[in-house]
Structure 1
């Protein structure tokens, strides 16, 4: 048994998860013969880059200023796409119809903002009803569509998802750093860095540390073990990810400011209400 200790930053972890999802046999088959629905976010944008070489528009995000969104309307870039036999189509305006027409052999991939100890996941909703994505993510598995949840371990929370859902809510919060949000549960198959490492090589994975400084904030440190060639396969892959950057359409990574396009529907934001300089 050969062992190696590795540390993955958050962007490295996202890219590793994307590579693992792209390597799954049912995803490869759907890419060739069927449909893959990608609901935008930085990790899912990395999946899109691995599958078809195109980035997705990033909408909501968490930064030092809190729960914010894109700084301007750039709807020419898709947030959600349907890949049909390798060709991508912007489906932002017709998500419910697209989902209703998907088959059980098709695949959906979405991200998450929180995972709990029971491997349950949820996404934040800052727009009314969570926008179009919020209206379909909870129903994908109900339609029989295999759903992969691409989510890094930095999203793990030591609480029950039920408690978190009951505590928050767009209309419950009086004031918020950025837009107030609720949580929408996402049924599906979780793919974190742990699963990704095991998909990409025959290795056993154990988390031995979390966090860091000087750019390593949110990182996870692992011990991986297995036959030496399999461990070395992971080490070689990680060596290619050391300088990886955040995924997503570059223009959409700039966050909103007071008076931005989402202000009319975002609730509780203390920047908009001039309670704090942004």
Structure 2
């Protein structure tokens, strides 16, 4: 069987949509949708997943901007986190820290990370004490046995160790800071980057052969994949669906 090669470039936002398509189609996610619970924690990548699964754009809270870590500027009633159970969608922002301990084996929690390392460690920035309700809920979803999936783009891979970053980062005692001063709390689960997404979406072998660029390519990734022609063609069609997509999330909360 002939091996076919393809190279393609994904901007950061296109990578989010590729990851979202892979996670939305994962068997454990589909199984939890049929017979369990799925919790989605707000973030642009997770909102892409939510929009694909149930057509619901999540509220985006903290985000990184050229001015640093910033909150949303406009009030919106859109939920930051949702529970999907028995085909019903429910906003859970006011109860997530008490609801999460009810999650268990067979249930899925999907939460993005702000950084991860080559050892598989990931963490989330906390702009409020302890990460507020979601900070407490994150510990619960890990301890009760829920299946935690962490969709995160390659642009968030850091040099060094997430554990060292968590020991160093703090909210208090920062004299100068762009945007909010932030600490970090850990997130433990299965990391899905664009590389894992490619493998989930098609039977091909991916390799990163370039990073970054200019004129909108900043932070993006150049990939090469190889595999059977039908699989490469399948991936090519999926990649085309990720092009020219909007940023995931409730538009009002993105301001």
* TM-score class normalised by the smaller sequence: over 0.9
Task: Say if 2:63 is the partner of 1:61.
Answer: yes
Q: Deviations over 1:252-277 (max 9, x none)?
A: 000xxxxxxxxxxxxxxxxxxxxxxx
Q: Deviations over 1:139-166 (max 9, x none)?
A: 3222100000010001010111121112
Number of the residue aligned with 1:118: 119
Q: Give distance in 2, aligned partners of 1:101 and 1:121.
A: 23
Q: Give distance in 2, aligned partners of 1:116 and 1:227.
A: 31
Q: Give distance in 1, aligned partners of 2:82 and 2:12.
A: 24
Give the structure with the higher percent helix. Answer: 2
Structure 1 residues 1-278: aligned runs within 5 Å? 1-74=3-76, 76-254=77-255
Q: Give distance in 2, aligned partners of 1:103 and 1:227.
A: 39
Question: Does structure 2 conserve the Cα–Cα contact (< 8 Å) formed by 1:48 and 1:56?
Answer: yes
Q: Give SS of 2:171's match.
A: coil
Number of the residue aligned with 1:274: none
Q: Deviations over 1:172-225 (max 9, x none)?
A: 321210000011110000001000010011111111111111011110111111
Please report the TM-score for the alignment, with normalisation by the length of structure 2.
0.97
Q: Give SS of 2:137's match.
A: coil
User: Size of the alignment, in residue pairs?
Assistant: 253
Q: Give SS of 2:150's match.
A: strand
Question: Does structure 1 conserve the Cα–Cα contact (< 8 Å) formed by 2:98 and 2:137?
Answer: no
Residue 33 of structure 1: how far off its partner (Å): 1.6
Question: Does structure 2 conserve the Cα–Cα contact (< 8 Å) formed by 1:31 and 1:83?
Answer: yes
Question: Does structure 2 conserve the Cα–Cα contact (< 8 Å) formed by 1:205 and 1:224?
Answer: yes
Structure 2 unmatched runs, 5+: none
Question: Does structure 1 conserve the Cα–Cα contact (< 8 Å) formed by 2:121 and 2:163?
Answer: no
Q: Give distance in 2, aligned partners of 1:173 and 1:2.
A: 52
Question: Does structure 1 conserve the Cα–Cα contact (< 8 Å) formed by 2:103 and 2:145?
Answer: no
Q: Give distance in 2, aligned partners of 1:167 and 1:41.
A: 24
Please report the TM-score for the alignment, with normalisation by the length of structure 1.
0.89
Q: Deviations over 1:88-138 (max 9, x none)?
A: 101000012211112311000000000112121101000111121111213
Question: Does structure 1 conserve the Cα–Cα contact (< 8 Å) formed by 2:96 and 2:133?
Answer: yes
Question: Does structure 2 conserve the Cα–Cα contact (< 8 Å) formed by 1:30 and 1:85?
Answer: no
Q: Give SS of 1:246's match.
A: coil
Aligned CA RMSD, in angstroms, stands at: 1.0
Q: Give SS of 1:136's match.
A: helix
Q: Give SS of 1:197's match.
A: helix
Structure 1 unmatched runs, 5+: 255-278
Question: Does structure 2 conserve the Cα–Cα contact (< 8 Å) formed by 1:123 and 1:186?
Answer: yes
Stretches of 4+ moved more than 4 A in 1? none
